[in-house]
Amino acid sequence: MEEKYAYIEGAEQPIAMHPKKFALWLFIVTVVMIFASLTSAYIVRQSEGNWLEFDLPDIFWYNSAIIILSSITLHWAYMAAKKDDLSKIRLGMILTSILGVAFLIGQWYSWAALVDRDVFFVGNPAGSFLYVFTGLHGLHLVSGVIFLIIVLISSFRYQVHSKNMHTMEMCVTYWHFLGGLWLYLFMFLLLNH
Protein backbone atom coordinates (compact mmCIF):
# COMPACT_ATOMS: atom_id res chain seq x y z
CA MET A 1 0.00 0.00 0.00
CA GLU A 2 2.84 2.41 0.76
CA GLU A 3 4.26 1.92 -2.73
CA LYS A 4 1.07 3.40 -4.26
CA TYR A 5 1.38 6.54 -2.19
CA ALA A 6 5.06 6.88 -2.93
CA TYR A 7 4.24 6.79 -6.63
CA ILE A 8 1.54 9.44 -6.30
CA GLU A 9 3.74 11.72 -4.23
CA GLY A 10 6.46 11.51 -6.86
CA ALA A 11 4.12 12.60 -9.67
CA GLU A 12 5.44 15.47 -11.72
CA GLN A 13 3.66 18.78 -11.98
CA PRO A 14 2.09 19.50 -15.37
CA ILE A 15 3.90 21.96 -17.59
CA ALA A 16 2.38 25.38 -17.07
CA MET A 17 2.17 27.94 -19.85
CA HIS A 18 1.04 31.53 -19.69
CA PRO A 19 -2.49 31.69 -21.21
CA LYS A 20 -1.48 34.38 -23.69
CA LYS A 21 1.48 32.29 -24.88
CA PHE A 22 -0.85 29.33 -25.31
CA ALA A 23 -3.21 31.49 -27.39
CA LEU A 24 -0.27 32.68 -29.50
CA TRP A 25 0.78 29.09 -30.19
CA LEU A 26 -2.77 28.18 -31.18
CA PHE A 27 -2.78 31.14 -33.56
CA ILE A 28 0.58 30.09 -35.03
CA VAL A 29 -0.71 26.55 -35.59
CA THR A 30 -3.75 28.01 -37.36
CA VAL A 31 -1.55 30.14 -39.64
CA VAL A 32 0.64 27.12 -40.42
CA MET A 33 -2.46 25.15 -41.39
CA ILE A 34 -3.68 27.97 -43.65
CA PHE A 35 -0.36 28.21 -45.50
CA ALA A 36 0.02 24.43 -45.67
CA SER A 37 -3.39 24.18 -47.33
CA LEU A 38 -2.56 27.03 -49.71
CA THR A 39 0.77 25.50 -50.74
CA SER A 40 -0.96 22.14 -51.25
CA ALA A 41 -3.62 23.81 -53.40
CA TYR A 42 -0.83 25.54 -55.35
CA ILE A 43 0.85 22.21 -56.18
CA VAL A 44 -2.44 20.56 -57.14
CA ARG A 45 -3.48 23.48 -59.37
CA GLN A 46 -0.04 23.74 -60.95
CA SER A 47 -0.18 20.07 -61.98
CA GLU A 48 -3.42 20.71 -63.92
CA GLY A 49 -1.56 22.83 -66.49
CA ASN A 50 -2.26 26.34 -67.87
CA TRP A 51 0.37 27.70 -65.49
CA LEU A 52 2.19 30.95 -66.15
CA GLU A 53 5.97 30.60 -65.86
CA PHE A 54 7.87 33.68 -64.66
CA ASP A 55 10.89 34.61 -62.57
CA LEU A 56 10.38 36.01 -59.11
CA PRO A 57 11.38 39.66 -58.72
CA ASP A 58 14.81 40.33 -57.20
CA ILE A 59 13.14 42.27 -54.39
CA PHE A 60 12.14 38.89 -52.89
CA TRP A 61 15.83 38.24 -52.20
CA TYR A 62 16.24 41.66 -50.56
CA ASN A 63 13.12 41.11 -48.47
CA SER A 64 14.50 37.78 -47.32
CA ALA A 65 17.69 39.51 -46.17
CA ILE A 66 15.62 42.19 -44.41
CA ILE A 67 13.52 39.64 -42.52
CA ILE A 68 16.63 37.70 -41.43
CA LEU A 69 18.31 40.91 -40.26
CA SER A 70 15.15 41.89 -38.36
CA SER A 71 15.20 38.57 -36.51
CA ILE A 72 18.81 39.23 -35.53
CA THR A 73 18.03 42.72 -34.20
CA LEU A 74 15.01 41.42 -32.29
CA HIS A 75 17.05 38.61 -30.75
CA TRP A 76 19.62 41.23 -29.72
CA ALA A 77 16.84 43.23 -28.02
CA TYR A 78 15.61 40.06 -26.33
CA MET A 79 19.06 39.28 -24.94
CA ALA A 80 19.32 42.90 -23.74
CA ALA A 81 15.97 42.50 -21.94
CA LYS A 82 17.32 39.47 -20.10
CA LYS A 83 20.18 41.68 -18.91
CA ASP A 84 17.93 44.70 -18.14
CA ASP A 85 19.78 46.89 -20.66
CA LEU A 86 16.97 49.30 -21.54
CA SER A 87 18.88 51.33 -24.12
CA LYS A 88 19.71 48.21 -26.15
CA ILE A 89 16.14 46.91 -25.81
CA ARG A 90 14.78 50.15 -27.22
CA LEU A 91 17.37 50.35 -30.00
CA GLY A 92 16.77 46.74 -30.98
CA MET A 93 13.00 47.21 -31.02
CA ILE A 94 13.29 50.42 -33.07
CA LEU A 95 15.60 48.74 -35.60
CA THR A 96 13.36 45.68 -35.85
CA SER A 97 10.27 47.86 -36.33
CA ILE A 98 12.00 49.85 -39.08
CA LEU A 99 13.10 46.63 -40.79
CA GLY A 100 9.55 45.27 -40.52
CA VAL A 101 8.17 48.36 -42.23
CA ALA A 102 10.96 48.12 -44.84
CA PHE A 103 9.88 44.54 -45.53
CA LEU A 104 6.28 45.67 -46.07
CA ILE A 105 7.44 48.43 -48.42
CA GLY A 106 9.52 45.81 -50.24
CA GLN A 107 6.40 43.67 -50.62
CA TRP A 108 4.60 46.60 -52.20
CA TYR A 109 7.48 47.05 -54.66
CA SER A 110 7.49 43.33 -55.39
CA TRP A 111 3.87 43.60 -56.48
CA ALA A 112 4.80 46.50 -58.76
CA ALA A 113 7.61 44.36 -60.20
CA LEU A 114 5.13 41.53 -60.79
CA VAL A 115 2.80 43.88 -62.67
CA ASP A 116 5.77 44.98 -64.81
CA ARG A 117 6.22 41.28 -65.69
CA ASP A 118 2.53 41.00 -66.62
CA VAL A 119 1.74 38.87 -63.57
CA PHE A 120 -1.59 39.97 -62.14
CA PHE A 121 -3.87 38.93 -59.30
CA VAL A 122 -6.68 38.23 -61.77
CA GLY A 123 -5.95 35.99 -64.72
CA ASN A 124 -3.59 33.06 -64.48
CA PRO A 125 -3.76 31.19 -61.16
CA ALA A 126 0.04 31.32 -60.82
CA GLY A 127 -0.17 35.06 -60.27
CA SER A 128 -3.23 34.76 -58.05
CA PHE A 129 -1.49 32.34 -55.71
CA LEU A 130 1.60 34.54 -55.53
CA TYR A 131 -0.43 37.61 -54.57
CA VAL A 132 -2.40 35.61 -51.99
CA PHE A 133 0.79 34.17 -50.44
CA THR A 134 2.56 37.50 -50.20
CA GLY A 135 -0.55 39.48 -49.27
CA LEU A 136 -1.59 37.11 -46.49
CA HIS A 137 1.95 37.02 -45.14
CA GLY A 138 2.09 40.82 -45.36
CA LEU A 139 -1.14 41.06 -43.37
CA HIS A 140 0.35 38.92 -40.63
CA LEU A 141 3.52 40.99 -40.77
CA VAL A 142 1.48 44.16 -40.17
CA SER A 143 0.20 42.55 -36.96
CA GLY A 144 3.82 41.66 -36.11
CA VAL A 145 4.95 45.27 -36.57
CA ILE A 146 2.10 46.42 -34.34
CA PHE A 147 3.26 43.88 -31.74
CA LEU A 148 6.83 45.23 -32.04
CA ILE A 149 5.59 48.78 -31.46
CA ILE A 150 3.59 47.67 -28.41
CA VAL A 151 6.73 46.09 -26.92
CA LEU A 152 8.74 49.21 -27.82
CA ILE A 153 6.24 51.43 -26.00
CA SER A 154 6.30 49.02 -23.05
CA SER A 155 10.09 49.35 -22.92
CA PHE A 156 9.76 53.13 -22.59
CA ARG A 157 7.35 52.52 -19.70
CA TYR A 158 9.94 50.26 -18.02
CA GLN A 159 7.66 47.23 -18.42
CA VAL A 160 10.16 45.07 -20.32
CA HIS A 161 12.91 43.66 -18.13
CA SER A 162 14.32 40.36 -16.92
CA LYS A 163 11.48 39.84 -14.42
CA ASN A 164 8.73 40.62 -16.95
CA MET A 165 9.54 38.82 -20.19
CA HIS A 166 6.14 37.38 -21.21
CA THR A 167 5.26 40.04 -23.79
CA MET A 168 8.81 40.19 -25.15
CA GLU A 169 9.00 36.39 -25.46
CA MET A 170 5.67 36.30 -27.29
CA CYS A 171 6.79 39.05 -29.65
CA VAL A 172 10.06 37.24 -30.38
CA THR A 173 8.24 33.96 -30.98
CA TYR A 174 5.74 35.54 -33.35
CA TRP A 175 8.34 37.55 -35.25
CA HIS A 176 10.69 34.60 -35.72
CA PHE A 177 7.70 32.56 -36.87
CA LEU A 178 6.84 35.22 -39.48
CA GLY A 179 10.46 35.25 -40.64
CA GLY A 180 10.53 31.47 -40.92
CA LEU A 181 7.20 31.51 -42.74
CA TRP A 182 8.51 34.02 -45.27
CA LEU A 183 11.64 31.95 -45.90
CA TYR A 184 9.49 28.85 -46.36
CA LEU A 185 7.23 30.65 -48.84
CA PHE A 186 10.17 32.11 -50.72
CA MET A 187 11.91 28.73 -51.04
CA PHE A 188 8.63 27.09 -51.99
CA LEU A 189 8.04 29.65 -54.74
CA LEU A 190 11.63 29.39 -55.98
CA LEU A 191 11.30 25.65 -56.32
CA ASN A 192 7.74 25.61 -57.71
CA HIS A 193 7.29 28.62 -59.97
Region 29-48 average pLDDT: 94
Domains of the chain, each with CATH number or no CATH: 13-192 (1.20.120.80)
Angle at 141 between CA 37 and CA 62, to 5 degrees: 95
How does 102-122 read in b/e, with b if 16+ C-beta sit within 10 Å? bbbebbeebbeebeeeebeee
Q: Is 56 left (phi over 0), alpha (psi -120 to 50) or beta?
A: beta
Q: How far apart are CA 42 and CA 44, in angstroms?
A: 6
Q: How confident is the model at residue 5 (pLDDT cuts 50, 70, 90)?
A: low
The SS3 call for residue 92 is helix
Listed in sequence order, the residues at least 6 apart from 113 whose beta carbon sits closer than 8 Å to its beta carbon are 57, 58, 59
Q: How confident is the model at residue 140 (pLDDT cuts 50, 70, 90)?
A: very high
The SS3 call for residue 36 is helix
Mean pLDDT of the chain: 89
Asked if residue 76 lies in contact with residue 92, where contact means CB atoms within 8 angstroms, the answer is yes
pTM of the model: 0.87
Q: How far apart are CA 65 and CA 84, in angstroms?
A: 29
Region 131-159 average pLDDT: 93
Q: How far apart are CA 148 and CA 73, in angstroms?
A: 12
Beta bridge mates, 161:
164
Beta bridge mates, 164:
161
Region 67-89 average pLDDT: 95
Q: How many Cα atoms are found within 13 Å in the side-chain-facing hemisphere of 73? A: 18
What one-character DSSP code corresponds to residue 159? -
Region 162-180 average pLDDT: 92
Q: What's the confidence (pLDDT) of residue 7? A: 52
pLDDT tens digits, one per residue of 92-134: 999 999 999 999 999 999 999 999 988 888 888 888 999 999 9
Q: How confident is the model at residue 192 (pLDDT cuts 50, 70, 90)?
A: confident
Q: What's the confidence (pLDDT) of residue 13? A: 62
Q: What's the confidence (pLDDT) of residue 166? A: 87
Region 42-48 average pLDDT: 91
Beta bridge mates, 51:
none
Q: What's the confidence (pLDDT) of residue 66? A: 97
**Is the predicted pLDDT of residue 188 greater than 90, yes or no?**
yes
